[in-house]
Amino acid sequence: MDIGTIVAFIIAGISAVATVAIAIFAIPTIQAYEKQVEIGQEQVKVGQEQLFNQFRPVLYPVEDLEKIVDRSAGEYHIKWEQQNQEIDGLKNIGVGPAFTIYGILFGPPVNSQPPAISAAIQK
């Protein structure tokens, strides 16, 4: 083997070792970039949710709910036996339009506890 071949092998070995070293040092950098991308995606998701919530409609009944809610023995009950129950008028106090209405009616809180009785509404 001549000196040129030996020098070529030495240079090739040094290049291989350097490539492996660069790859090893690049792994933490790649992981840091992946973490930054995840943080950025989470921030975009939070921003989209905030924007959606900004333009959400907020509806509440304009009139009394006595036609669909029975108050017997001090408790509120939905009058399930009545057909085609309707709420006469909803007022939108939010900024978004209300095209499809879906909600849950809750009774008043009892002793500062959340109400246990609720009814779903979809229109």
Please compute the mean of the pLDDT values over residues 49-69 and round it to a whole number: 79
Residue pair 90/61 in contact (Cβ under 8 Å)? The answer is: yes
pLDDT at 121 over 70: no
User: Do 63 and 118 belong to one domain?
Assistant: yes
Q: Which domain holds residue 88?
A: 59-122
Q: Three-class SS of residue 52?
A: helix
pLDDT tens by residue, 90-106: 788 888 887 777 766 66
The tally of domains found in the chain comes to 2
User: Do 47 and 74 belong to one domain?
Assistant: no
Last residue in a domain, options 16, 37, 54? 54
The pLDDT confidence band at residue 30, using thresholds 50, 70 and 90, is: very high
Please compute the mean of the pLDDT values over residues 62-71 and round it to a whole number: 76
User: Do 25 and 67 belong to one domain?
Assistant: no
Whole-number CA gyration radius for the chain:
33
User: Do 67 and 111 belong to one domain?
Assistant: yes
Task: Provide the pLDDT for residue 113.
Answer: 75
User: Do 43 and 67 belong to one domain?
Assistant: no
